[in-house]
Amino acid sequence: MGMGPMSRSPVLEAMFYSNVLIAKGEIQSFYVTSKNADLLYTPSGGPSRNDHEGSWNYDLRVLGGGVGVMGYPFGTAVADREWNGVIHYNVNKVSFLSSSLSNSDEYQNMITPTFTGENTAYGFMFDIVTKDSPITIKTLSFHTDLIQPDIRVFVWYKRGTHVGHEQMPESWELLSDTIVRGERYLHRTPIPPEFFKDVKVNANERVALYISLTTPNLRYSNVSPSGNKSGSENENLIIMHGKSVLSTSFGLNSNQKKEWNGSIQYMVHEANIGPAPLLLPAGNNDVSLSGLTGGVTTSYAGGNGGRGAMFDVFAKGEMPGFGGIVVTSIDFHTDSTSDDIGVRVYTCQGSFMNHAYDSKAWKLVADTKVTGRGPFKKTGIVESVFDQVYIPAEQVQAFYVSLDRPNLLYSDVPETVVVRKVWSQSEDVEVTVGAGLGYSMEFTGLQEPRLWNGSIRYSVADIVTTAPTPRFTRGPTPPPFSAVVVTSNPTGRTPTASPTSRPTKAVIVTPTVPSQITWPVVYRSLATTFAGGNGSFGNLFNLIAPSGKGGITVTNLDLHTDHPGKDLQVEVWTRNGPFEEGTQSVQCCGWTLLVRTTVVGVARHEPTSIPSNEFPPVNVQPGETRGFLVTFDTDDMRYTNYEENEDLQYAANDDLVQITVGAGVSEYPFRGRIVPNRMWNGRVFYRSPIG
């Protein structure tokens, strides 16, 4: 009903067909018309009143430069007319915007990060992560500054992250190759659904999307410092920050995090419950405890933190007879010394990336209070309150450590390091780069990549055989026992806001090794020199275990630097065979990263030690030569010049190991620049079986 001149004539919300989503920075056009010539507007004052003026408040601007329409439903346009009216709207208080329309038992949804569009490129790659419900992606809209009617657009997708697959078209599936009309700067350009292949994405799954044009006119935005550090999200999914592609399909890309401009239109389906995690098996006659224990540490460098961290643990499978590991507890890193820190540990099968936001897929294995030991120290969870977790050989198990306060410490990693990259390892397991969780609620606000700071404690499980199975990587081991692994079939638990009662603990009966069976081991160290005299970023050298002896297991190294009190990032790499066969780069030739950690320099002519709990043992078999690269990320490594006319066969040697004269490394990271005849300054700690 019309309310007359100078009064508002409202349109009832019930008669308004659909809410209209307007993303940050986006322009949306409206046309208001009436069957009768009763709609009033105002002359805008001439062409000087353009798109950059009009009416506005803190949330939006109604642009000037509109037109009157002399007819119904369309007619002659009269320029420079200003609409008279009021817009009713709601403001989303978070970094995402979404709208939905009812459609039977499913919903048609849309998520739109932003349309500020400060930058242009040929294409854009990014990941999306679903939450508790599966979805089907129906189509996309994107942002371009073109208005022409013949824009060719391609859309590809792949399961998992785009990282590491930026220039691998064979990893991707084409969803759309079509021609669309560009809707210009600050407007959405949609891809018709009939030219877009639907994609079903499971609950708590990560997939990658890649949108590409044939010209550098795809718009994207810088990441806002005040925005979500991971991306934009709504109740169904997260659009992660991505990267621009600076040339045509699968070409050069930028490593800087940017924000995609566009909308994803999708359908929501009924949620699926994820698989239950695999805990310690009950009465498994094929696996027994070997009596061996182990541990692996990532880092205690800190530098960042929040309320939680997720990461993956992989049980290796190269060793004969190896049946996996049983995680018995963990240590973590906190800057708090409070005596009432609430800590929970969850686990699930597979990578955390597949279940990061699906709380139903995780099992609670520890829920207790501990006393924090403060920065750079281990804060442990006693084994009596930790439900052991069995990880079979060649399987991945995810862990999530959560505190009741934002005092869990983890570390940032270099931009070149991606999620799930192996960071630390032992003879039995690998621990990967994961994610930090900084929000007050569990299973929210992932920030990645982040390195969990902590240690895994475990027992080794062997496959039961009728005869002893050699385990060459650990030296002599006792024959397999007829051990019994007993549980009371713990029931699954869904995380709750308050602690739940703990199930019956798993009980492990470990047989006793007969006292008459012994395997004597000698522990030694061998130093070259700490004379210094020269230096740069690092050193290459070989360790040789003579034939006819028992071989050695390297357990740690000391280094030489002349910067006392300085924090130094050290890396230790190794390869099977002499270093001379791998001088091109550590990215080839079989090099494996053993340690990446921070040490504090001691003094010139004095050893600087690598923390022993961060150095995984390395075996050198009898008659074997193994190459080593020890490097800082700064030129603070000291070594000693060696003249070829000096009659010196080895830098140091004894009856069990020989250290060769090696080469200096004059760059970081190592890419082949070496200086020959440079003697590593340091000490090798090792053990060897006797007899």
Of 66, 91, 116, the last residue of a domain is 91
Neighbour count for residue 503 (Cβ, 10 Å)? 18
The whole-number pLDDT of residue 234 equals 85
The strand pair at 341-349 and 484-486 is best described as unpaired
Alpha-carbon distance of 510 to 290, in angstroms, equals 9
* 103 and 17, same domain (yes or no): no
Domain count, the chain: 4
- From the list 627, 492, 610, the residue with the least C-alpha distance to 556 is 610
Whole-number percent of the chain with pLDDT over 90? 29
Q: How many Å apart are CA 51 and CA 47, to the nearest integer? A: 10
Residues 86 and 106 reside in one and the same domain: no
Residue 174 has pLDDT above 50, yes or no: yes
Residue whose token pair is 């010394």: 337
CATH number at residue 371: 2.60.120.820
**What sign does the dihedral 671-677-681-683 (CA atoms) show?**
positive
Is 294 exposed, middle or buried (CB count within 10 Å of its CB: 0-12, 13-18, 19+)? Answer: middle
Determine, yes or no, domain membership for 583. Answer: yes
Specify the DSSP element, H or E, that contains 69: strand 67-70
CA atoms in the 13 A half-sphere facing the CB of 74: 1
pLDDT in tens, 521-553: 677 888 898 888 999 999 999 999 999 888 999
Quick check: 597 and 582 in contact, CB under 8 A? Answer: no
Q: Which are the contacts of 629, defined by CB distance < 8 A and separation ≥ 6? A: 538, 539, 540, 571, 572, 573, 574, 579, 586, 591, 665, 670
Judge whether 277 lies within some domain. no
Is residue 675 in a domain? yes
Q: Who contacts 623 (Cβ-Cβ below 8 Å, separation ≥6)?
A: 545, 546, 547
> What's the confidence (pLDDT) of residue 166?
85
Work out whether strand 106-112 and strand 135-143 pair parallel, antiparallel, or are unpaired. Answer: unpaired
Q: Do residues 231 and 135 both lie within one domain?
A: yes
- Asked if residue 261 and residue 344 are part of one domain, the reply reads no
Phi-psi region of 679 (alpha: psi -120 to 50; beta: other; left: phi over 0): beta
Confidence of residue 394 (pLDDT cuts 50, 70, 90): confident
Query: 59, exposed or middle or buried, with CB in 10 Å at 0-12, 13-18, 19+?
Result: exposed
Report the C-alpha gap between 598 and 601 in whole angstroms: 10
Does one domain contain both 349 and 459? Answer: yes
Tokens found for residue 85: 């009216």
Segment 611-638, tens digit of pLDDT: 877 888 899 999 999 999 999 999 999 9
Of the ranges 34-43, 296-305, 579-588, 664-673, which one carries the lowest mean pLDDT score?
Answer: 34-43
Last residue of a domain, one of 59, 91, 123: 91
Q: What is the pLDDT of residue 45?
A: 58
Please tell me whether residues 391 and 309 are part of one structural domain: yes
Whether 83 and 147 share a structural domain: no
Q: Is the pLDDT of residue 520 over 70?
A: no
The residue ranking higher by pLDDT, 500 or 556, is 556
What distance in Å separates the CA atoms of residue 93 and residue 22, rounded to the nearest whole number?
14
Q: How far is CA 109 from CA 183, 230, 282, 425, 651, in A?
A: 21, 21, 45, 43, 68
Take residue 502 and report the two structure tokens written for it.
């703990």
Q: Are residues 258 and 303 in the same domain?
A: no
- Write out pLDDT tens, residues 256-313: 788 899 889 899 887 543 333 334 444 444 555 555 677 888 888 888 999 999 999 9
CA angle 586/589/595 to nearest 5° reads 40
Nearest to 555 by CA among 538, 540, 543: 543
Roughly how many angstroms between the first and final C-alpha of the chain, as a whole number?
Answer: 103
* 235: phi then psi, degrees, rounded to nearest 5: -70, -15
Q: What are the residues facing 76 on neighbouring strands?
A: 70
Position 539 scores a pLDDT of 95
523-545: buried (b, 16+ CB within 10 Å) or exposed (e) per residue?
eeebebbbebebbbbbbbbbbbb
State yes or no: pLDDT of 443 exceeds 60.
yes
Residue 622: predicted pLDDT: 93
Cα–Cα distance list, 678 to 535, 575, 637, 662 (Å): 9, 19, 12, 6
Q: What is the DSSP letter of 383?
A: G
- pLDDT for 209: 94
What is d(CA 634, CA 625) in angstroms, rounded to the nearest whole number? 28
Phi, psi of 521, rounded to the nearest 5 degrees: -130, 140
612 conformational bin, left if phi > 0, alpha if psi -120 to 50, beta if neither:
alpha
Nearest to 356 by CA among 131, 200, 161, 111: 131
Residue 278 counted as domain residue: no
Is residue 493 one of the residues assigned to a domain?
A: yes
Q: Is the pLDDT of residue 503 over 50?
A: no
Higher pLDDT, 680 or 54: 680
Same domain, 299 and 404: yes
Task: List, in order, residues 6 or more apart from 513 with CB less than 8 Å away.
Answer: 291, 478
137 band by pLDDT with thresholds 50, 70 and 90: very high
Q: Same structural domain for residues 316 and 381?
A: yes
Least confident piece of the model among 87-96, 191-200, 442-451, 579-588: 87-96
Please provide the size of the chain in residues.
691
Strand partners, 409: 305
d(CA 455, CA 569): 19
pLDDT category of residue 122 using cuts at 50, 70 and 90: very high
Between 641 and 224, name the one with better pLDDT. 641
CA distances from 564 to 53, 568, 603, 606, 664 (A): 62, 10, 5, 10, 21
pLDDT of residue 256: 75
Which carries the bigger pLDDT value, residue 172 or residue 482? 172
Q: Which residues contact 159 (CB under 8 A, 6 or more apart)?
A: 205, 206, 207, 208
Higher pLDDT, 221 or 58: 221
Kindly tell me if the per-residue pLDDT of 348 is higher than 60: yes
- pLDDT over 60 (residue 480): no
186 and 50 share one domain = no
Identify the three-state secondary structure at position 180.
strand
Residue 107, pLDDT > 70, answer no
Q: Single out the residue in 449, 477, 509 at which a domain terminates.
A: 509
- Name the amino acid, one letter, at 366: A
What average pLDDT does the structure give for the chain?
77
Residue 516 lies in a domain: no
With tokens 């060793």, the residue in question is 319
The verdict on residue 614 lying in a domain is: yes
Residue linked to tokens 């590809």: 156
Q: 131 lies in which domain range? A: 97-268
Same domain, 207 and 240: yes
Handedness of CA 96, 102, 107, 109 (dihedral sign): negative
Rounded CA-CA distance 618/531 in Å is 27
pLDDT value of position 59: 60
Instruction: Determine the Cα–Cα distance for residues 351 and 313; give it in Å rounded to an integer.
Output: 8
276 in a structural domain: no
Q: How many CB atoms lie within 10 A of CB 269?
A: 17
CA–CA separation, 187 and 185 (whole Å): 6
Locate all alpha helices (DSSP H) within 214-323, ordered by sequence.
none
Top mean pLDDT of 101-105, 377-381, 413-417 is at 377-381
